[in-house]
Structure formats: C-alpha cells, structure tokens
C-alpha cells in the first residue's frame, strides 16, 4: 500500500537534494585552520542558495528504502516522478510479500493512476510537507548560534568520499522568536551540522531536544526532552546529493490525551538516475520491472547496511 507520509518524514526527495546545498566559497586550508568566515554567516549563505535551488526538478532517481519501526522492518522501492512519488512495498521483516500483499500494492498503484484527483491530492500533501521542511531550513540562520567544532573525513555514505567535512555545533538563539509552531521546535534543539565545503553541501544534521517543547503554552501539546532528529546525505552521482539515512525518535502529547510517537530508522540506497520528465505511470512501470528483477535474485541481502550513529 501507499507508504505513509514519506513526505512527513522525508519530504520530497528533490527538496532534500536541494535543501542541503552550502553556498560558501571558503574552503578548508591544507593545515585545517578554521574557515575565514563566521559560522553563522556560512549558514546564512547556505540557506540563501538552498531556497533558490529548492525548485530544482531535473534530478530524479529510483532508489530503495529500508525502514525499521514499531511495524517491523519494511523495504520499498521509490521512483520520483513529475506528478508524485511512486512507491512499492517489496518486503516485510526481510521476507518477500505474499501474492495477495503484492497484488494489493499493484491495485493501489493502479487506483492512483486511474484517479487524477487522488494523484493530485497526493502531490499536494507531498508539496505541503516539502514546504514545511523549507520553512525549517529558512529559520536555521536566525534560530541557532553556531561555532566550529572540528572536522572529519567524508565517505560514500556521508558527504563525498575523500572530502574533509567541517563540523558546526549549534545551540538555540535566545533572541529568536519562531513565526509559527513549525519553527517552534527549534527553540528546544541543539546539535551539529556536518558540512562538505568542497561540494558546498551539508552532509549531516543531528539535533536533540534538550528540554520539553510546548505548543500553545502546553495546552495544544508538547514534545518530550531527549527526542532526536537525524538526517544524512551523500553524493550519489551526477552532482546530486540524496538522503542516505534518517532517524526519528520523538515522543510527546497533543490535545491532552493523544500521544505522539515517531520512532524509526531508515536508510536509502541503490540510487539510479532517471529522466526528469518521468510520469507517474512510467514510474509505476519502473517499480514493476525493478520488483521483478529483485524477485529473481537468490537469497538477496539487504541493499543497505549503513548504521545510523547512536
């Protein structure tokens, strides 16, 4: 069935590809001295270019997701299309789907293709999620204070292999006033960004709630202290970076009684560049072909063994 809310966690993949572009021209010196630019200004330049690049539509991919959550382990194939994200569940707890489960996936995709209105609504939800993500990105320069905190080497799963990544520690800016509940969560978060200055990208964002965050004076709800949000990117070829790992561990309560629990670890791999004009129907054909290919592999191993840092 149609997975939920990849958008609410991951957003539109094109947006994430654009959302982490670093716009500073300063590079790390050979002796690894700090960059000759204030870290806050580095982030401000980054966001300015990210916003300008967010509507890029010429980088589309097919890829595989492995997700661990309370529902178990699930593997899916995704295809980015001009109309909406096409997706197909292919395994549960490392076991292939039953014929009935597989048919249900096909029936759902066929239903979407035969219902322009439902496809339009799906696209609208994905765009809404991407817009919320971009609002968070726009807030980064003002919501936090930054300082340089060392370097580490990039690899195939984070940043770009061979590049030196710069670590930026962030803490809340006490003078920041969030314009809406979307940005309000940033007031209780601290952590770090990992930047690849050679490629002008952010390779990782790792944030932790160091206190409870209340919404509407606690009447509407709150997020619990200790919650964590982790996103990692890497160069997947042809000059495009994509999400390679993501972790959510956030709990809380909304409207007094309803509990919030967003706990999952997800990795993304096997990126294949596809034409920019790929339609949803064409994307479904790609899903079917890829699923059939994977089904013929003997004893397939999980395509992604990367571990999310603890």
47: left (phi over 0), alpha (psi -120 to 50) or beta: alpha
Q: Render pLDDT for 198-221 as a digit per residue (tens, 0 to 9).
A: 777 788 999 999 998 876 544 456
Q: Identify the weakest region by mean pLDDT among 209-223, 225-239, 261-275.
A: 209-223
Average pLDDT of the segment spanning 89-97: 94
Q: What mean pLDDT value characterizes the chain? A: 81
Task: Determine the pLDDT at residue 10.
Answer: 45
Pairing of strands 189-196, 221-223: unpaired
Q: Is the per-residue pLDDT at 29 higher than 50?
A: no
Residues in the chain: 310
Q: Could you tell me which residues come within 8 angstroms of residue 5 by beta carbon, excluding any fewer than 6 positions away?
A: 125, 129
Would you call 150 helix, strand, or coil by DSSP? strand
CA distance 307 to 245: 8
């Amino acid at each position: 069935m149609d997975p939920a809310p990849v958008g609410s966690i991951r957003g539109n993949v094109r947006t994430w590809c654009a959302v982490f572009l670093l716009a500073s021209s300063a590079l790390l010196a050979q002796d690894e001295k700090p960059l000759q630019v204030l870290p806050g200004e580095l982030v401000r330049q980054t966001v300015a270019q990210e916003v300008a690049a967010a509507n890029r539509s010429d980088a589309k991919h097919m890829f595989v997701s492995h997700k661990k959550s309370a529902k178990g382990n699930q593997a899916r194939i995704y295809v980015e299309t001009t109309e909406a994200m096409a997706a197909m569940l292919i395994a549960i707890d490392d076991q292939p789907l039953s014929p009935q489960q597989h048919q249900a996936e096909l029936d759902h995709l066929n239903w979407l293709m035969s219902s322009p209105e439902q496809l339009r609504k799906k696209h609208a939800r994905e765009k809404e999620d991407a817009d919320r993500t971009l609002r968070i990105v726009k807030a980064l320069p003002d919501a936090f204070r930054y300082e340089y905190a060392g370097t580490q080497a990039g690899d195939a799963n984070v940043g770009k292999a061979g590049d030196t990544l710069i670590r930026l520690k962030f803490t809340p800016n006490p003078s920041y006033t969030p314009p809406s509940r979307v940005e309000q969560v940033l007031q209780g978060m601290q952590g770090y960004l990992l930047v690849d200055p050679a490629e002008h990208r952010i390779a990782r964002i790792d944030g932790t709630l160091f206190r409870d965050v209340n919404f509407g004076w606690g009447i509407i709800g709150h997020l619990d202290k200790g919650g964590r949000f982790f996103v990692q990117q890497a160069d997947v070829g042809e000059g495009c970076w994509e999400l390679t790992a993501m972790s959510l561990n956030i709990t809380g309560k909304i409207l007094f009684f309803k509990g919030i629990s967003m706990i999952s670890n997800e990795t993304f791999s096997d990126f294949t560049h596809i034409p920019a004009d790929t339609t949803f129907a064409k994307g479904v054909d790609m899903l079917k072909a890829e699923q059939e290919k994977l089904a013929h592999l003997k004893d397939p191993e999980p395509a992604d063994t990367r571990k999310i840092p603890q």
